[in-house]
Structure 1
Amino acid sequence: MASHAAPRRTHRSDRSPHGTSSGLRLDEHLPVDHRLSTFYRFGAGLMGVVLIVFGILGVIDHVGFFDTGGDTVAGLNTNGALSWLSIGVGLLLLVGMVMGGNFASTLNMGLGVLFVASGFLNLALLNTDNNVLAFKIQNVLFSFVVGILLMFFGMYGRVSGTLPHDNPYWRHRHPDADGAGGSEDAVHRREIT
């Protein structure tokens, strides 16, 4: 008894412009071009601009690079290292805003977790000689708030037990559900059986 295996249909996204396979893509399993991309872009852009403005105000004040004095900008303690770090992370978020989609969502979630972790780490380093970013308690709270907002902007419409059935992430997780659309492979599997 011979069994025939159906050839794997290659998605357009799996091919390079020359028609050959482009290799492994990490975000291949995620839905693309959905209306949530605008929300992810907005979140990345908003948080990026806030961090860049804070960083630029710190750089303009000519604060020492690792100065741990009481230099404040917009109510937050800062030094040159924190200012330049803020500008760098803000620019990274603006890149996420430009790219949008799953990249912006994943970037928002990842940086959100890092901001919350930074808040806890710097909370432990308050009033020690290792407080090289000159954090005070208001900086720790700001780090927590920015981290939670970034995680919200990254997870919205993507992580929940009660996603609506027209959500692209729900459809991706339930490709065989009636009316969900599914991926080309799921449709192809249904045609074969």
Structure 2
Amino acid sequence: MASHTLRPSGTRRRTRLDEHLPVDHRLSRIYRVGAGLMGLFLLAFGILGLVGTGGQGTVLGMGSNTALAILSICVGALLFVGMVAGGNFASTLNMVFGILFLASGFINLGLLDTDYNVLNFEIQNVLFSFVVGLLLMVFGMYGRVGSTLPHDNPYWRARHPDAVEQERPVQPGRRDRPDQVR
């Protein structure tokens, strides 16, 4: 049994996703790009849905109505806020909206051709929800998960504090570990 899995009962270490990435980290750029691109497309879709079709019809090959257009504008604006904020906020926002888009795709797939299809979804909208959901999740999780994260990655360091302690540079003349000799 590995020693890093033995913990006193009642103590559970959790990785908090909102405090491990420095504000100026290079991963923030990826989170911002993802939020910005998806937000821009959703804003364009929502505005065209309101202005171009008068609230009912087809926009960019997908079904739309006033409710879907307003929802798209709101989500697009939130993604733009995430782009401006950057960092962990943008990453977490991308992941949350990615999951919501995937769920929306599955729910609306079941509601196609029923009276409960209040957002006027068509199969193109469902496929769009799946694609946008997956893209947002990829942008949000980039650099956070994976089996080959570099050891200087803040998320790897948060998940492996024992290994970080062992990799810490040793000052000359100081004996921190028993395997070090003078």
- Deviations along 1:10-54, whole A, 9 cap, x unmatched? xxxxxxxxxxxxxxxx75642322210010001000100000001
The letter for the 1-side match of 2:22 is V
| 1:20-169 matches, cutoff 5 A | 29-33=19-23, 34-64=25-55, 71-169=57-155
Q: What is the percentage of aligned positions where both structures have the same residue?
A: 64
Residue segments in structure 1 that go unaligned for 5+ positions in a row: 1-25, 182-189
Q: How far off is 1:57 after superposition?
A: 0.6
Give SS of 2:84's match: helix
Q: How far off is 1:75 after superposition?
A: 0.8
- Deviations along 1:59-112, whole A, 9 cap, x unmatched? 112434xx5xxx111111101110110000000000000111000000000000
Q: CA RMSD in A?
A: 1.8
Give SS of 2:73's match: helix
Alignment check: 8 A CA contact 1:174 1:180 kept: no
Q: How far off is 1:173 after superposition?
A: 1.9
TM-score of the two chains, using structure 2 as the length reference: 0.78
Q: How far off is 1:160 after superposition?
A: 1.2
Q: How far off is 1:168 after superposition?
A: 1.5
- Quick one: distance in 2 between partners of 1:148 and 1:28? 21
- Quick one: distance in 1 between partners of 2:72 and 2:19? 32
Evaluate the alpha carbon distance shift between residue 149 and residue 83 of structure 1 in structure 2; reply closer, same or farther with a 3 A threshold: same
Partner of 1:6: none
Q: How far off is 1:164 after superposition?
A: 1.2
TM-score of the two chains, using structure 1 as the length reference: 0.74
Evaluate the alpha carbon distance shift between residue 83 and residue 162 of structure 1 in structure 2; reply closer, same or farther with a 3 A threshold: same
Partner of 1:171: 157
Residue segments in structure 2 that go unaligned for 5+ positions in a row: 1-15, 170-175, 177-182
The letter for the 1-side match of 2:79 is L
- Quick one: distance in 2 between partners of 1:166 and 1:148? 27
Partner of 1:5: none
